[in-house]
């Protein structure tokens, strides 16, 4: 038997020419989580990351209790003294109403969230994967898949050292399986024929940082309607205190909105912030760094999540939560799910049986998120209509019980079994809604 249970000579055993058991492309939260769990199980994992840490990533930097649970599960210490800024819940502002909702008390998730900029966050998660035994090659850009003799199955990737640009020599790395955790654009998935689906929601959001007295806000503040005086601007916004003297401020728009593709995001941000109290400090002279934007691929907008030796994790598989734009926890959770599937597959005695295990990955994701994301797509369709948002903010926000239910729904924070009435309704709705 080989190290992972394959009888010698079986087709799925690691070949002498392989550089690793598994190659993970991208060391964002999804790739690093996959690498961590694979390495913990004793597999040889090679992570190829085009940038070098520390590096920025456009994000709101908000971590819900789901993300906190993942970090705790990777053995990462979350001390405020080390730069982790805790929060108690979310503050929702809309329809002239302002309501604070604490994270629910649950046996399955911690009762606090965090804020940490991606500059530090991604490196911490990547280093945890390294400590677990994964090999991390920074500054290596993957340029395409390497296919087997039948040109069907991915058996590795080609890559160049990023710093050398196009002039650098291309190298081939081989492995039994490849994880695409290369983010929203996922060029590796594209090269394997996996395009984005037009029938799934997509958001575009921008953010920047300001020095602000609101930096130590211990609620994640979400604005459901954005105003410039009496004018209602499209989209939603957030102000997240980073706890280091700055606030992360941003706004986004979903492709279900009639304004999608027709707005100047930076101008919208300027108009929205101009309507805020001057003492909050969201003025040009307090802005630190540029306003940057990126896409949020939601509700499984690239499928299938497994094909021909390639597993998609996080944004590469379009896994951002359509209810709230949260993508870090889904990236980390899908990384862990992919790792568990791979660990089982690589221990199977023959190729057919390993393939059967791998084909279970899309189903495992559907079981985890499918019904909930289908509900989310309907929600996103509804909030694309201004009348829905106006109705919801006017009539929904003032009712605390309804809003607590909404908070559990938006943040996907329920007890998997038992729980209160809200938990049971949300779980039942997610179960009975088809996972498409
Ligand atoms: C404006 C904005 C605000 C957001 N706010 C939040 C928030 O507050 N909370 C939240 O939970 N989510 C938020 N999100 C979503 C979140 O940022 C993503 O869902 C999350 O980063 C996905 O993680 P990932 O690991 O799948 O991909 P990524 O974080 O994108 O990581 C992909 C990695 O792959 C690397 N890579 C790419 N191509 C290659 C290649 N060819 N070769 C090698 N490496 C490669 C990249 O350098 C990167 O390190 C926000 C998104 C945006 C755009």
Residue 416: band (very low, low, confident or very high) from pLDDT cuts 50, 70, 90: confident
- Whether the pLDDT of residue 7 is over 60: the answer is no
Which two three-digit tokens encode residue 133? 């035994």
Q: pLDDT digits over 335-349, tens only?
A: 999 999 999 999 999
Q: Whose CA is nearest to atom 27 of ligand 1?
A: 183
Average pLDDT (255-274) is 89
**Measured in angstroms, how far is the CA atom of residue 323 from the centroid of ligand 1?**
18
**Measured in angstroms, how far is the CA atom of residue 164 from the centroid of ligand 1?**
24
Q: Could you tell me if the CB of 31 is within 6 A of ligand 1?
A: yes
| Residue 94, φ and ψ in degrees, nearest 5 | 180, 150
Q: Could you tell me if the CB of 322 is within 6 A of ligand 1?
A: no
Residue 179: band (very low, low, confident or very high) from pLDDT cuts 50, 70, 90: very high
Average pLDDT (399-425) is 72
Lowest mean pLDDT among 160-174, 176-190, 224-238, 320-334: 160-174
Q: Could you tell me if the CB of 207 is within 6 A of ligand 1?
A: yes
CA atoms within 13 A on the CB side of 300: 23
| Nearest-atom index, ligand 1, CA of 207 | 1
| Nearest-atom index, ligand 1, CA of 26 | 34
**Measured in angstroms, how far is the CA atom of residue 213 from the centroid of ligand 1?**
28
**Per-residue pLDDT at 296:** 94
| Nearest-atom index, ligand 1, CA of 143 | 41
Average pLDDT (408-421) is 74
Q: pLDDT digits over 309-337, tens only?
A: 999 999 999 999 888 889 999 999 999 99
* Contact assessment for residue 204 and residue 296, using Cβ atoms and an 8 Å cutoff: yes
**Per-residue pLDDT at 31:** 98
Distance between CA atoms of residues 291 and 281, nearest Å: 16
**Measured in angstroms, how far is the CA atom of residue 333 from the centroid of ligand 1?**
14
Q: Between 249 and 229, where is the model more confident?
A: 249
The beta-carbon contacts of 98-104 under 8 Å, at least 24 apart in sequence, are: 99/397, 99/398, 99/400, 99/403, 100/219, 101/403, 101/404, 101/407, 103/64, 103/65, 103/411, 103/413, 104/404, 104/407, 104/408, 104/413
**Measured in angstroms, how far is the CA atom of residue 279 from the centroid of ligand 1?**
32
**Per-residue pLDDT at 109:** 94
Q: Whose CA is nearest to atom 53 of ligand 1?
A: 294
* Contact assessment for residue 324 and residue 410, using Cβ atoms and an 8 Å cutoff: yes
**Per-residue pLDDT at 285:** 97
Distances (CA, A) of 42 to 55, 342, 373: 28, 12, 33
| Number of residues assigned to the chain | 436
Q: Whose CA is nearest to atom 52 of ligand 1?
A: 59
Lowest mean pLDDT among 14-18, 84-88, 293-297: 14-18
* Contact assessment for residue 317 and residue 30, using Cβ atoms and an 8 Å cutoff: no
- Whether the pLDDT of residue 1 is over 50: the answer is no
Lowest mean pLDDT among 10-19, 156-165, 362-371: 10-19
- Whether the pLDDT of residue 163 is over 90: the answer is no
* Contact assessment for residue 82 and residue 124, using Cβ atoms and an 8 Å cutoff: no
Distance between CA atoms of residues 374 and 24, nearest Å: 28
Mean pLDDT for all residues in the chain: 88
List, in order, residues 6 or more apart from 103 with CB less than 8 Å away: 64, 65, 88, 89, 109, 110, 111, 112, 113, 411, 413
Distances (CA, A) of 238 to 198, 287, 291: 26, 16, 14
| Nearest-atom index, ligand 1, CA of 313 | 26
| Residue 246, φ and ψ in degrees, nearest 5 | -125, 160
Average pLDDT (43-66) is 97
**Per-residue pLDDT at 79:** 94
Share of the chain above pLDDT 70, in %: 87
Find the largest Cα–Cα distance for the chain.
73
Average pLDDT (342-365) is 96
**Measured in angstroms, how far is the CA atom of residue 374 from the centroid of ligand 1?**
22
Q: Whose CA is nearest to atom 50 of ligand 1?
A: 59
* Contact assessment for residue 92 and residue 106, using Cβ atoms and an 8 Å cutoff: no
Q: pLDDT digits over 57-108, tens only?
A: 999 999 999 999 999 999 999 999 999 999 999 998 887 778 888 998 899 9
| Residue 36, φ and ψ in degrees, nearest 5 | -60, -50
**Measured in angstroms, how far is the CA atom of residue 184 from the centroid of ligand 1?**
7
| Highest-pLDDT range among 87-96, 149-158, 162-171 | 149-158
- Whether the pLDDT of residue 162 is over 70: the answer is yes
**Which residue's structure tokens are 């007295």?**
213
Which two three-digit tokens encode residue 92? 């929702």
**Per-residue pLDDT at 260:** 83
List, in order, residues 6 or more apart from 137 with CB less than 8 Å away: 46, 47, 48, 49
**Measured in angstroms, how far is the CA atom of residue 275 from the centroid of ligand 1?**
30
């Amino acid at each position: 038997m080989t190290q992972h249970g394959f009888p010698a000579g079986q087709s799925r055993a690691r070949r002498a020419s392989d550089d690793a058991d598994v190659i993970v492309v991208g060391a964002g939260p999804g790739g690093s989580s996959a690498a961590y769990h694979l390495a913990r199980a004793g597999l040889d994992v090679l992570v190829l990351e085009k940038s070098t840490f520390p590096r920025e990533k456009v994000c709101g930097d908000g971590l819900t209790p789901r993300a906190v649970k993942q970090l705790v599960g990777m053995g990462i210490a979350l001390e405020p003294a080390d730069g982790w800024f805790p929060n108690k819940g979310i503050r929702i502002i809309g329809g002239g109403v302002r309501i604070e909702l604490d994270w629910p008390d649950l046996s399955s998730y911690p009762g606090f969230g965090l804020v940490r900029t991606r500059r530090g966050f991604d490196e911490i998660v990547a280093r945890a994967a390294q400590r677990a035994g994964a090999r991390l090659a920074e500054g290596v850009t993957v340029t395409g898949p390497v296919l087997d003799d039948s040109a069907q199955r991915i058996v590795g990737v080609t890559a160049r050292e990023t710093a050398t640009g196009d002039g650098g020599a291309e190298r081939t790395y081989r492995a039994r399986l490849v994880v695409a955790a290369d983010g929203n654009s996922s060029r590796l998935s594209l090269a394997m024929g996996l395009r984005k689906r037009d029938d799934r929601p997509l958001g575009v959001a921008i953010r920047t940082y300001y020095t602000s007295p609101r930096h130590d806000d211990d609620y994640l503040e979400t604005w459901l309607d954005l105003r410039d005086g009496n004018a209602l601007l499209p989209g939603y916004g957030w102000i997240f205190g980073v706890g280091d003297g700055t606030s992360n401020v941003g706004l986004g728009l979903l492709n279900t909105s009639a304004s999608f593709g027709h707005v100047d995001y930076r101008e919208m941000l300027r108009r929205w912030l101009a309507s805020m109290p001057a003492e909050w400090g969201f003025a040009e002279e307090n802005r630190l760094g540029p306003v940057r934007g990126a896409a949020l691929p939601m509700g499984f907008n690239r499928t299938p999540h497994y094909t021909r030796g390639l597993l998609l994790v996080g944004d590469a598989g379009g896994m951002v939560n359509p209810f709230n734009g949260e993508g870090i926890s889904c990236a980390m959770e899908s990384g862990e799910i992919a790792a568990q599937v791979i660990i089982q597959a690589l221990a199977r005695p023959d190729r057919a049986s390993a393939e059967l295990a791998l084909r279970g990955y899309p189903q495992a994701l559907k079981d985890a998120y499918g019904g909930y994301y289908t509900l989310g797509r309907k929600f996103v369709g509804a909030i694309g209509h201004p009348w829905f948002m106006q109705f919801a903010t006017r009539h929904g926000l003032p009712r605390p019980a309804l809003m607590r239910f909404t908070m559990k729904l938006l943040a996907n924070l329920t007890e998997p079994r038992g729980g209160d009435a809200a938990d049971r309704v949300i779980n039942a709705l997610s179960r009975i809604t088809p996972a498409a």
